[in-house]
Structure 1
Amino acid sequence: MRQTLIAAALATVLLAGCGQGNPAPSTDTAAATSPTADVVSEADTAFAALSKRFLEEGLALSPVYATGMGDHRFDAELDDLSPEGRQKAVAWAQSLLADLAKIDAAQLSRENQVDAAILRNQLEYGLWDEAVLQRWAWDPQSYSSLAGGAIYSLMAREFAPMPERLVSATARMEKLPALLAQARANLDPARVPKTHAETVARQNRGVLSLLDTFILPNAGQLEGEQRARLDAAVATVRAAVEEHQKWLDETLVPNAAGDFRIGAEKYDQQLKFALNSSLSRQEIRQRAEAELARVRDEMYTVARGVLKDRAGAPETPESPSEAQRQAAIEAALELAYAEKPGRTEVVDFAKHTLDVATQFVREKDLVTVPNDPVKIILMPEFQRGFSVAYCDSPGPLDKGLDTYYAISPIPDDWTDAQVDSFLREYNNYMIHVLSIHEAMPGHYLEGVHSAEHPSTLRAVLRSGPFAEGWAVYTERMVADAGYMDNSPLFRLTQLKFYARAVANAILDQGVHVDNWSKEQAMDLMVRQTFQQEREAEGKWVRAQLSSTQLATYFVGAQEHFDAREAAKAKWGEAFSLKDYNNRMLSYGAPPVRFARQLMLDEPIR
């Protein structure tokens, strides 16, 4: 997972595991391009025009997001988050919603009914965020993510010759001081939570590492006036970042007094928009608590087998007490923790696990495996502090470029005890699970398949719960297929990782709705789901920094499992796992309920 700033025009943060030349984006809708579409209605024609307007005008209002999507018309521009810029975006979104309301959804093709529902939800989410949640006033991450992304999105992939990208980066660097000034003008320290302020204060100078990593080593490819302008822009950015750092350290952090909890009313509203799921908060909580109990029982069953006849092992009766269950699972996990990479070996071992997972998925023929490249990289510094790893796919309009499986390195200033805690959590077995989730057949494979869907609108507004849910779904699918020769320690670790996803949904509500203390959160993570102290501490911070995103893993996975069971029931003996997986991925990552409705010919709702 990584955090990216979606269109400033929508003023909302979209969190998803994977994101997706120079021409303007295609505006073909699925109805207009599908070989099965016999007739294109007037409603479809009107919606195609509206989609074109959304893509052309919306991406123009959010140049950094446009670059990430692979639309390079605005590579020299930067988002405007001033009050005037945000008001322009609000008027634009209101106008699109009004025009969308004039289209009779019942007359649209099924594919366009889905796209229309996605578009309406996104526009309404943006307006709600601007007027109600008002993230622009209290979340400094929105600005730091945009500042780093402005450079990273241009330089990380070779979508154009380096000199051309350097010229665009120069123009953006010249505009970065204005963006940071907008942050200082918009943010109200009294509303900014302390954790948000401290996190961004630590991340801020990460923008400078992008200059040293991407800009300066290639600066020699520009000459004359262009080189002089680049050098001046670099100096301008350095000064602006230091000015901003001074404000963060001396004004924002000392005076940050906001509450990171958004409360039940706003949480329910955001949950509806962000997940676009049929499950309510109450249903999510009930299913998550029941699933956690089931997973702990399954972990105990596996632990009994691991510990059988092992000297010094705790008792493992068939009907254990809660204390006996806890002790057995912890003892079995200790055997997995003992097999861990060295401090500097994490990335190399991740490469090995990616090779193993890819070969396994091919051999078991679980899903069609593309040949697009995937590379393991160190996570850029400006994006560290939010997650251990993420998958970064090229935008849907950029073809044939690398996908990155980014891993955060262990910080140099960590003590030996902190490093040991981290590596116990991310032991050899856990890194196998992580590579399945982030790359194969998780986020990377899903991103490649989804990018083939003809609707550019759907690609730009791809569903986070679909992507994260798919990644969690594949962990169990691969384990069920016998990964690592049915190793019980791998299965135990996979169940632990899944328990984390289940706990995420409970934690998210506990923190933002039920006013959980840190002690309550740590009990859920450390005792009930067996996370290491260091991992749990990081998740506690993450739960404060975001709301509803932590629920996407569990909710998306539940919807994926539900959809597969529905397909099995409908298709009977004709059901094929590979066919099902390929078909699910063919819909372009809409909210899972829409993919299910399209696949099983259910009403779109």
Structure 2
Amino acid sequence: MRMMINTRTLYKLLVTAICGFTFFTACKKDGMGGQISDEEKNNESFTRYEGKFLDELWKLNPDWATSVGYHMYDSVLLTPADQKKKLVDFAKNHLDSLSHYPQNELTSSNRMDYYLIQNYLRKTQWTYSSLKAYEWDPTSYNVIGTFAYILNEKYAPLAKRLKSFYQKMETIPAYYKDAQKLVKSPVPELTDLAIDQLNGGAGVIEKDFIDSLTKSSITDAEQKLMRERAKTSLAAIRGFTAWLKTIRSDKGRSFRLGKSLYDEKFAYEIESNLTSQQMFNAAVERKKVLHKEMIKLSKELWPKYMGDKKMPSDSLALVGDVIEMLSLKHVEPAQFQSAIEKQIPKLSAFVKEKELLTMDPTKPLVVRREPAYMAGVAGASVSSPGPYEKNGNTYYNVGSLDGWDKERAESYLREYNNYTLQILNIHEAIPGHYTQLVYANKTPSLIKAIMGNGAMVEGWAVYSEEMMLDAGYGNNEPEMRLMWCKWNLRAVCNAILDYNVHAGSMTREQALKLLIKEAFQQQAEAEGKWKRVTVSNVQLTSYFTGYHDIKQLREEYKKKMADKYRLKEFNEKFLSYGSAPVKYIKEAMLTNEVEKPGDKKADQPEDAENKKEPKTQEKKPAKTDTGDKKKS
């Protein structure tokens, strides 16, 4: 305790000395000439600290900066070893700086930012000291995504983006030379994925960049230099993939993370009040609940679809038979993407009609074919513009079925049949990921928008599926409810699968049995999920854990609000905190804390298209009557 008091006292003296100008300005503005409180000084100082933290963070994470729309470092590519050293030092120094801020004197919004920064810094230390994925995961050396972003996003004139692209390429040979020194015992499955992604994504440099040059105003002399550098860069990338093939061995590190690392990564990435074991236990119980509901619905639907055929004595087989019949209704392979595009406006209209959320019609959602450099992990995903670039496009990336044999395509389309395709669109688009990320980018706290929590993001998407059906989407048809149960069971079994594989020893055969027999998934979907669990870890648990935590929060919030509870108000308040972990949002929503001086107001971050990128703005002390006004 003595050490804490001394540190805090020292900190206050430092703040007084360093921020004297701010202090006396505040006194001058006070009509009575009184001094501002320690809490106000601490919060003003912390807000300035956040700006400094982000400035330094982007210098060391230029690719991350580009992805969130901060374009000052688009032309920078750090070599892996250099970045590793700098990030370790950065984490150590900022944990020390962070410790000087007294948490109990920060506003609720600043306190949430404090926790997010602290978790990021601790996770960074753990990543390099314990996880050491840089030694066994070659996919971490895929630089293509950022180059594609620079080329495809129209945040600046084409010529300017091409020059940033060109300058960034300069480091590619050194980058992959460095990577070869760091990779020691690569996971075979991750090695194969890295080779596929880099070979598939090489077209961004080989073709897309060259094509864009011909459309630009850049001089012929400059273009010649750019083309030569592109060739050198391609040679370095292909040299790395060729090298990966030579060292690939089935004796490399196992793709299984191991229970100890799994538990630790779960704590850092999911940030739930649940432990990984508690999450697993909750998922097992949820599976039982869903099976019970699905058996009931299947018995109700059996006569309609199976006629006089005798029901199987095995209740799960009964469910499987009904689902199989419903799965026969699906689009043709060539219509898959267009079917998705047609459903988006209908989802928007339903959300508006039922008053579930306020939608922003000015934010575009572009359905596109999944880029090659993203392929191999998930069949559908959403890419959102960052908080510095609020006018950018949000992309709904749809996996292509081109080149699939008829049997595999049929299996895939039965999985994404006419019912589940709608649920997929709710999850990925409206009111799922797309909607949530639009809200997140409107938050005044850059920290909460940037350091998004995967469990909150995925959990919201799963929660939104059930919310839509509860509001009557699908005309309350038992068919839609049954297929949603199957879909919800998918999130549940994702968690069960991930834990059993990475913290246990589940085999491929056991995994396929779980997914096909107990989760009623098609063969192609189940095999794809097995591949996914071999090249990822912990992320698959985010769907169920986030959903579980949000549902629990909503029930507690309903009790708190009693007859004042409104679903739309809950949804919008929840989303107003950006992508912060649910446990911190819960703390804010269930307390009646009066907002303290210095809490952030709802001003938008500026666009980052000019030469000098915006910094986190210092905010004036502000008071509100009641309620937690912080937004993430």
What TM-score do you get using the length of structure 1 for normalisation? 0.89
2: CA distance, partners of 1:596 / 1:448: 21
CA shift, 1:160, in A, is 0.8
Alignment partner, residue 267 of structure 1: 262
CA shift, 1:383, in A, is 0.7
Q: List aligned pairs for 1:403-482, cutoff 5 A.
A: 403-412=394-403, 414-482=404-472
Alignment partner, residue 559 of structure 1: 549
Question: Which structure has the bigger radius of gyration?
Answer: 2
Alignment partner, residue 15 of structure 1: none
CA shift, 1:85, in A, is 2.9
- Tell me whether 121-130 or 512-521 shows the greater mean CA deviation: 512-521
Alignment partner, residue 354 of structure 2: 364
Alignment partner, residue 172 of structure 1: 168
1: CA distance, partners of 2:250 / 2:501: 22
Does residue 377 in structure 1 map to residue 377 in structure 2?
no
Alignment partner, residue 387 of structure 1: 378
Q: Tell me if structure 2 keeps the 8 A contact 1:63–1:75.
A: yes
Secondary structure of the 2:319 match is helix
Q: Tell me if structure 1 keeps the 8 A contact 2:411–2:523.
A: yes
Alignment partner, residue 252 of structure 1: 247
2: CA distance, partners of 1:177 / 1:602: 56
Alignment partner, residue 276 of structure 2: 281
Unaligned runs of 5+ in 1: 1-31, 33-37
CA shift, 1:264, in A, is 1.3
Q: Tell me if structure 2 keeps the 8 A contact 1:64–1:79.
A: no
Alignment partner, residue 11 of structure 2: none
Q: Tell me if structure 2 keeps the 8 A contact 1:315–1:328.
A: no
Compared with structure 1, are the counterparts of its residues 313 and 192 closer, same or farther at alpha carbon in structure 2 (3 Å cutoff)? farther
2: CA distance, partners of 1:69 / 1:449: 15
Q: List aligned pairs for 1:311-350, cutoff 5 A.
A: 311-312=306-307, 315=310, 323=314, 325-350=315-340
Alignment partner, residue 44 of structure 1: 43
Opposite residue 66 of structure 2, the aligned amino acid is T
Unaligned runs of 5+ in 2: 1-25, 27-35, 594-627
Opposite residue 296 of structure 2, the aligned amino acid is T
Alignment partner, residue 289 of structure 2: 294
Does residue 483 in structure 1 map to residue 473 in structure 2?
yes
Does residue 127 in structure 1 map to residue 125 in structure 2?
yes
Q: Tell me if structure 2 keeps the 8 A contact 1:300–1:328.
A: yes
Q: Tell me if structure 2 keeps the 8 A contact 1:364–1:481.
A: yes
Q: Tell me if structure 2 keeps the 8 A contact 1:64–1:75.
A: yes
- Tell me whether 303-312 or 46-55 shows the greater mean CA deviation: 303-312
Secondary structure of the 2:520 match is coil
Alignment partner, residue 305 of structure 1: 300
Alignment partner, residue 532 of structure 1: 522
Q: Tell me if structure 1 keeps the 8 A contact 2:359–2:435.
A: yes
Alignment partner, residue 71 of structure 1: 70
Q: Which of 518, 524, 542 does residue 508 from structure 2 map onto?
A: 518
Q: Tell me if structure 1 keeps the 8 A contact 2:390–2:441.
A: no
Q: Tell me if structure 2 keeps the 8 A contact 1:192–1:256.
A: no
Count of matched residue positions in the alignment of Structure 1 and Structure 2: 556
Alignment partner, residue 14 of structure 1: none
Compared with structure 1, are the counterparts of its residues 52 and 256 closer, same or farther at alpha carbon in structure 2 (3 Å cutoff)? farther
CA shift, 1:213, in A, is 6.0
2: CA distance, partners of 1:326 / 1:97: 52
Q: Which of 213, 216, 222 does residue 219 from structure 1 map onto?
A: 213
Alignment partner, residue 12 of structure 1: none
1:551-596 alpha-carbon deviations (Å, 9 max, x no partner): 1000000111011111111111111111110110001110011112
Q: Tell me if structure 2 keeps the 8 A contact 1:78–1:150.
A: no
Does residue 182 in structure 1 map to residue 178 in structure 2?
yes
CA shift, 1:284, in A, is 0.7
Q: Tell me if structure 1 keeps the 8 A contact 2:67–2:146.
A: no
Opposite residue 67 of structure 2, the aligned amino acid is G
2: CA distance, partners of 1:309 / 1:235: 62
Alignment partner, residue 197 of structure 1: 191
1: CA distance, partners of 2:443 / 2:453: 14
Secondary structure of the 1:596 match is helix
Secondary structure of the 1:454 match is coil
Secondary structure of the 1:41 match is helix
CA shift, 1:482, in A, is 1.3
Opposite residue 65 of structure 1, the aligned amino acid is W
2: CA distance, partners of 1:117 / 1:314: 58
Alignment partner, residue 238 of structure 2: 242
Q: Which of 571, 578, 591 does residue 581 from structure 1 map onto?
A: 571
CA shift, 1:86, in A, is 1.0
1:240-288 alpha-carbon deviations (Å, 9 max, x no partner): 2221221122x23246511111211111111110111110122111110
Secondary structure of the 1:376 match is strand
Alignment partner, residue 29 of structure 1: none
Compared with structure 1, are the counterparts of its residues 314 and 601 closer, same or farther at alpha carbon in structure 2 (3 Å cutoff)? farther
Identity of aligned residues (%): 30
1: CA distance, partners of 2:152 / 2:542: 27
Opposite residue 248 of structure 2, the aligned amino acid is V
Opposite residue 122 of structure 2, the aligned amino acid is E
Compared with structure 1, are the counterparts of its residues 310 and 276 closer, same or farther at alpha carbon in structure 2 (3 Å cutoff)? closer
Opposite residue 386 of structure 1, the aligned amino acid is V
Opposite residue 156 of structure 1, the aligned amino acid is N
- Tell me whether 239-248 or 127-136 shows the greater mean CA deviation: 239-248
- Tell me whether 300-309 or 548-557 shows the greater mean CA deviation: 300-309
CA shift, 1:389, in A, is 0.6
Secondary structure of the 2:171 match is helix
Alignment partner, residue 209 of structure 1: 203
CA shift, 1:226, in A, is 2.7
1: CA distance, partners of 2:549 / 2:334: 38
1: CA distance, partners of 2:224 / 2:336: 40
1:473-525 alpha-carbon deviations (Å, 9 max, x no partner): 00000011111222322222211111010011111110011111111111111
Opposite residue 374 of structure 2, the aligned amino acid is Q
Alignment partner, residue 152 of structure 2: 156
Alignment partner, residue 506 of structure 1: 496
- Tell me whether 305-314 or 575-584 shows the greater mean CA deviation: 305-314
Opposite residue 98 of structure 1, the aligned amino acid is D
Alignment partner, residue 58 of structure 2: 59
Alignment partner, residue 611 of structure 2: none
Q: Tell me if structure 1 keeps the 8 A contact 2:305–2:325.
A: no
1: CA distance, partners of 2:590 / 2:225: 57
Opposite residue 153 of structure 1, the aligned amino acid is Y
CA shift, 1:461, in A, is 0.5
1:108-163 alpha-carbon deviations (Å, 9 max, x no partner): 0011111101111111011001000101111111112xx11221221232111111
Alignment partner, residue 604 of structure 2: none
1:392-442 alpha-carbon deviations (Å, 9 max, x no partner): 110110021111010110141x22111111111112222111110001000
2: CA distance, partners of 1:352 / 1:280: 41
2: CA distance, partners of 1:305 / 1:312: 12
Secondary structure of the 1:72 match is coil
What TM-score do you get using the length of structure 2 for normalisation? 0.85
Opposite residue 410 of structure 2, the aligned amino acid is D
1: CA distance, partners of 2:157 / 2:366: 20
Opposite residue 201 of structure 1, the aligned amino acid is I
- Tell me whether 179-188 or 580-589 shows the greater mean CA deviation: 179-188
1:307-348 alpha-carbon deviations (Å, 9 max, x no partner): 2254456545xxx95x1x212211211222111111211100
